[in-house]
Structure 1
Amino acid sequence: MPASPSSSAQAARARVARRLRDLRADAGISGSELAARAGWTHPKTSRLENARTPPTPADIRAWCAACGADEEADDLIVASRDAESQYVEWRRRVRTGLKTLQESYLPLFQRTELFRIYSTTMVPGLLQTDGYLRSLLGGITDFREIPNDVEAAVAARLERSRIIHQPGHRFALLIEESVLHHQLGDSDAMAAQLGHLLTAGAIPSVSLGVIPAATRERGHWPMETFHVYDDSLVSVELLSARVTVTEPSEIALYIRAFERLRTMAVYGADARALVVKALDALG
């Protein structure tokens, strides 16, 4: 697995590695002796202790057995799996198609009360319409050369989006004005998508802000698209992977960035004017 760009994932790996190292130290054995007991080479022990290689469940059980600490194995295996899940390669998540990926987010969505979403490239998934979504998922399917289950994936995504009408959830959504001009699908599909945005403000649980292209008070470098779920998790989608941020200090950084971005956005009639401008540009 490639090194994660997320310090949250690296920190989680490091905690597992540090616990393995502590178990060896508590047992009073050297790295070479542990390697001999576990049946592998000393360099492997070093790689595991320094978080350069993620341990398999079998590695953890062998390590704990070598240290006389079998009772520690189950907890360490869970901790290691959690660390590795913080950086999830897309090719693994979508190898059977996109429908399963859409459905996998349901538990997270159901337990989240406040969604904060900032998008630089496209309409947030919760507000995507049928034609827009079909073009998006079709393009992803072609690019990644994965099984084509676009129709089922579209249905699953639209079903998932019904959460915006369920009580107990609030949605603060921010998009750049350029999103309104980034056409996905034909003109009719894009017009339908923009038309839906015009009515999004009427949904009681939704706050939709648009950051005008002419905004000068940015004071920061361009940011990636990100999703904040309550104050407990941030998801950042890269071309090759989805990075999950769980370190409190990093989550706070994203929330701070989101709050700053909110002050740059326009809402209500001013936001609708920008949507209408994009509709007019479609001809």
Structure 2
Amino acid sequence: MTESPTAAVQAARQQLAARLREIRKEAELTATELARRLDWYPSKVSRIEHARTPPGTADIRAWCAACGAENLADDLVASAQTADSMYMEWRRVQRTGLRHLQESRVELYERTRLFRIYCSTVVPGLLQTPSYATALLNSISRFHRTPNDVAEAVDARMRRSQVLFVNGNRFSVLVEESVLRYRIGDSETMAGQLGYLLTLMSLPSVSLGVIPFSASRPLWTLETFNVFDDARVHVELLSAAVKITAPGEVEQYVRASKELAGMAVYGSAARDLITSAIAHLR
């Protein structure tokens, strides 16, 4: 199996920690001596050097100053900020509600031309109806205990979905058959959502594949992910969003998307699975 999506984040933090440890040793300081200079507990130096506690910007600048390496501070601060941006806890990005997160991704969606989308749990956001999005975002708001701005967040999500109708954009969308069966909202909401998928399938820019329960699986069910122009990946976990830009890791998700596509059915076969799910609601 591939590594956890958080592996790249931890690796980046470990590299930063190792570089700070090297700077201390190059200054010929022990951890205790550095802590004394910074008026820190020695345990704080140890936690930073072992990547157990991510250092803040002020910590990095103070560390470099105490070691006579002020010229290295800017690069190390940038490295720390990159690592932090790779792993964003939902409770941090949703602390003011859900609308801001929807709006913050508009620029990325507008400049992307090729979208590879895989969902194993819910209908992808770009393909959601307002009713389905409302039911889903209400669940997310309740679980994460965010301020309730679901109506505004749904409006923002619908505006973001307009990229579906921009000439030149392409969407390779894969969902597990279970997505068609998991009931988000009431029966009417699900029927409307499934009917909308049938409508979107007629768009020349949208390739919608459904991976049937009966499919032979050379690749296991994965976490939900979105690939943007084969250059950036967003992975959605229960507690956080992970952004991946390292070419080697992005390539793994592109390859996974292609393998999953090989398990999917399209066209009339996919329509049959969707209409069957609609009939099941009744």
TM (norm. structure 2) is 0.92
Q: Return the letter of the residue paired with 1:92.
A: R
Runs of 4+ residues deviating >4 angstroms = none
* Corresponding residue for residue 246 of structure 1: 245
Unaligned runs of at least 5 residues, structure 2: none
* Corresponding residue for residue 262 of structure 1: 261
Task: Report if aligned partners of 2:219, 2:260 keep a CA contact under 8 Å in 1.
Answer: no
2: distance between equivalents of 1:82 and 1:151? 32
1:19 aligns with 2:19: yes
Task: Report if aligned partners of 1:8, 1:246 keep a CA contact under 8 Å in 2.
Answer: no
Q: Return the letter of the residue paired with 1:40.
A: W
Task: Report if aligned partners of 2:219, 2:259 keep a CA contact under 8 Å in 1.
Answer: no
1:33, distance to aligned residue in structure 2 (A): 2.6
Deviation track 1:49-108 (CA, whole Å, cap 9, x = no partner) reads: 221210011111111101212222222112112212222111122121111111111222
Task: Report if aligned partners of 1:6, 1:245 keep a CA contact under 8 Å in 2.
Answer: no
CA 213–5 in structure 1, closer or farther in 2 if over 3 Å, else same: closer
Task: Report if aligned partners of 2:224, 2:236 keep a CA contact under 8 Å in 1.
Answer: yes
* Corresponding residue for residue 167 of structure 1: 167
2: distance between equivalents of 1:17 and 1:257? 31
Task: Report if aligned partners of 2:120, 2:221 keep a CA contact under 8 Å in 1.
Answer: no
- Identity in percent: 54
2: distance between equivalents of 1:53 and 1:61? 16
Q: Return the letter of the residue paired with 2:220.
A: W
Unaligned runs of at least 5 residues, structure 1: none
CA 90–266 in structure 1, closer or farther in 2 if over 3 Å, else same: same
> When the two structures are aligned, how many residues end up with a matched partner?
279
1: distance between equivalents of 2:189 and 2:79? 45
1:221 aligns with 2:220: yes
1: distance between equivalents of 2:131 and 2:63? 53
C-alpha RMSD of the superposition: 1.8
1:76 aligns with 2:79: no
Secondary structure of 2:273 counterpart = helix
Residues 186-195 or 150-159, more deviating: 186-195
Residues 91-100 or 231-240, more deviating: 231-240
Task: Report if aligned partners of 2:5, 2:235 keep a CA contact under 8 Å in 1.
Answer: no
2: distance between equivalents of 1:200 and 1:266? 16
1: distance between equivalents of 2:74 and 2:168? 35
* Corresponding residue for residue 35 of structure 1: 35
1: distance between equivalents of 2:222 and 2:141? 26
1: distance between equivalents of 2:212 and 2:148? 36
1:32, distance to aligned residue in structure 2 (A): 2.7
2: distance between equivalents of 1:157 and 1:71? 43
Task: Report if aligned partners of 2:119, 2:176 keep a CA contact under 8 Å in 1.
Answer: yes
Residues 270-279 or 20-29, more deviating: 20-29
TM (norm. structure 1) is 0.92
2: distance between equivalents of 1:134 and 1:123? 13
2: distance between equivalents of 1:26 and 1:169? 52
* Corresponding residue for residue 274 of structure 1: 273
2: distance between equivalents of 1:143 and 1:5? 22
1: distance between equivalents of 2:145 and 2:54? 28
CA 112–18 in structure 1, closer or farther in 2 if over 3 Å, else same: farther
Task: Report if aligned partners of 1:97, 1:149 keep a CA contact under 8 Å in 2.
Answer: yes
* Corresponding residue for residue 60 of structure 2: 60
Secondary structure of 1:159 counterpart = helix
2: distance between equivalents of 1:177 and 1:243? 25
